[in-house]
Amino acid sequence: MGIKTALPTAELGLYSLVLSGALAYAGRGLLEASQDGAHRKAFRDSVRPGWEYIGRKMDVADFEWVMWFTSFRNVIIFALSGHVLFAKLCTMVAPQLRSWMYAAYGALAVMGTMGPWYLLLLLGHCVGLYVASHLGQPWLCLGLGLTSLASFKMDPLISWQSGFVTGTFDLQEVLFHGGSSFTVLRCTSFALESCAHPDRHYSLADLLKYNFYLPFFFFGPIMTFDRFHAQVSQVEPVRREGELWHIRAQAGLSVVAIMAVDIFFHFFYILTIPSDLKFANRLPDSALAGLAYSNLVYDWVKAAVLFGVVNTVACLDHLDPPQPPKCITALYVFAETHFDRGINDWLCKYVYDHIGGEHSAVIPELAATVATFAITTLWLGPCDIVYLWSFLNCFGLNFELWVQKLAEWGPLARIEASLSVQMSRRVRALFGAMNFWAIIMYNLVSLNSLEFTQLVARRLLLTGFPQTTLVILFVTYCGVQLVKERERTLALEEEQKQDKEKLE
């Protein structure tokens, strides 16, 4: 209610001023803390020499990010450049064979990186789910897919299957888990689509073309089989007007984001500071809140960069891949919270929406969320911290529905109806601010550590109450109102666009 309701310009200006000042204040505290802790013994392993000519060290706590843009940078550029080159040549010479070229190039790249035995292992999983798809039983296909996924997540099968990889290198474990897990999800999507559309007679070749598309193979995002097959099967794909400009802009934004992260890590040690709880506990409340928030923002930026690079290549191949996840800054409801839009779409299509229906009834929604987060737990790898993360986010998603049902209850509905639409928006934004911090705390558990999450919760909710708690809540409220204003503007623009199309 009230999403189309505008607030006074002066009020929105005040919110912008408060939010900007709070972010600047928290950023200054983090910058000072990073400078003070640069030479601590506890930081020695994860804060390394960076820009030595100005005496700045760099936070290198995230080994994946460091590997992507140091030792594996040239390999990634070479592999994706080769894919783009061969795809372009094939599209020009024999466009009807481009899907075969994608599969052949991807399979050769996987074999060259991980070895022929690993390739044969994945082919075995592909064939198993392909055979299951001919039985026409969706529950069997989903069950076999989850069993196959579990074999890559739990011992002793995971240890046995990892032995199929040839050689050893720094990102071996990451590539093994990424390639294997995404392969299972893709094969499961193929099997479920085959069951849903038996008249289409999908072949094993269609599955292999889908699975070994290199840009998506190791890190995603995942496209459901029906979407991928429809797009890659176009014999003479045609680009929309302005599409090439959009692709160039997306590539440019990815480069700018990579450079921005590199600069940021030379001044703010946001990944290293939480590992030293004694040092983190000495931070001011504002800096500690900013540290928790920046950890989630960085994870979003990391995903956005990864998917941005991959999606740029996919768009050059005339595909419409899943978009990067929604920025954590714009999230204030659990229903929109995800860090991988492709996996979110996969889970929604085959599990969440299938069980939950319209997501308006309490019991079906509870069953849908429990099933969805059970599969997510298996995807992430069962362990105590993942169990806790799944429980908290499952609870948050259901709690939103319970609060919504409560708000629709007679007495509360009449109270809200008595308010002006602007006041209703303010009240809802207040609840959105509290929800925003619930999202941060629930996800900080897995993105950082349980101990750091407990420290942040204790400082912001207990020792900092009421002053720190209320100040941070008000600042977050200002941010939520600005996000709502942005959503209102986009909604109006979309309506105007639709009205214009109707007139034409």
Q: What is the pLDDT of residues 241-262, one digit of tens each?
A: 888 888 899 889 988 998 999 8
DSSP code for 198: G
List the one residue out of 394, 430, 408 whose CA is nearest residue 360: 408
Instruction: Dig out the tokens for 153 from the structure.
Output: 């997540």
Q: Quickly list DSSP for 229-240.
A: HHHHT-SS--PP
Which range has the worst mean pLDDT, 30-44, 53-67, 258-272, 421-435? Answer: 53-67
Instruction: Dig out the tokens for 157 from the structure.
Output: 């099968």
308 or 238, which is more confident: 308
Task: Give the separation between CA 152 and CA 162, rounded to whole angstroms.
Answer: 8
Task: Give the separation between CA 462 and CA 474, rounded to whole angstroms.
Answer: 17
Task: Give the separation between CA 51 and CA 54, rounded to whole angstroms.
Answer: 6
Q: For the chain, what are the domain ranges? A: 9-60+253-302+318-503, 71-233
Whole-number pLDDT of residue 125: 93
CA distances from 203 to 96, 98, 180, 206, 234 (A): 17, 17, 21, 5, 17
Supply the angle between the helices 98-114 and 225-232 in degrees, to the nearest 10.
120
The rounded percent of the chain whose pLDDT value lies above 90 is 44
Task: Give the separation between CA 288 and CA 460, rounded to whole angstroms.
Answer: 9
Secondary structure of 269-309 in HEC code, one letter for each residue: CCCCHHHCHHHHHCCCHHHHHHHHHHHHHHHHHHHHHHHHH
Whole-number pLDDT of residue 3: 59
Confidence of residue 1 (pLDDT cuts 50, 70, 90): very low
Whole-number pLDDT of residue 304: 87
Which range has the worst mean pLDDT, 209-223, 404-418, 472-486? Answer: 404-418
CA distances from 184 to 112, 191, 215, 334, 440 (A): 21, 10, 16, 27, 30
User: In a 3-state reduction of DSSP, which class is residue 408?
Assistant: coil
Confidence of residue 184 (pLDDT cuts 50, 70, 90): very high
455-479 mean pLDDT: 93
Buried residues in 62-90 as b, exposed as e (16+ CB within 10 A): beebbbbeeebeeeeeebbeebeeebeeb
Whole-number pLDDT of residue 339: 74
Burial class (CB within 10 angstroms; exposed 0-12, middle 13-18, buried 19+) of 371 = middle
List the one residue out of 159, 194, 171 whose CA is nearest residue 350: 194
Q: Tell me whether strands 47-51 and 56-59 are parallel, antiparallel or unpaired.
A: antiparallel
Say yes or no to pLDDT of 128 above 50. yes
Supply the angle between the helices 467-503 and 9-37 in degrees, to the nearest 10.
130
CA distances from 297 to 37, 227, 414 (A): 22, 30, 38
Whole-number pLDDT of residue 324: 79
473-499 mean pLDDT: 88
Q: ∠198-200-204 over CA atoms, to 5°?
A: 90
Say yes or no to pLDDT of 15 above 60. yes
Looking at residue 217, its amino acid is F
Q: Which residue has the tokens 């408060």?
A: 18
Q: What mean pLDDT value characterizes the chain?
A: 88
List the one residue out of 238, 185, 208 whose CA is nearest residue 375: 185
**Which residues are paired to 56 by β-bridges?**
51
407-421 pLDDT, tens digit each: 888 888 888 888 888
Say yes or no to pLDDT of 405 above 80. yes
Whole-number pLDDT of residue 504: 63
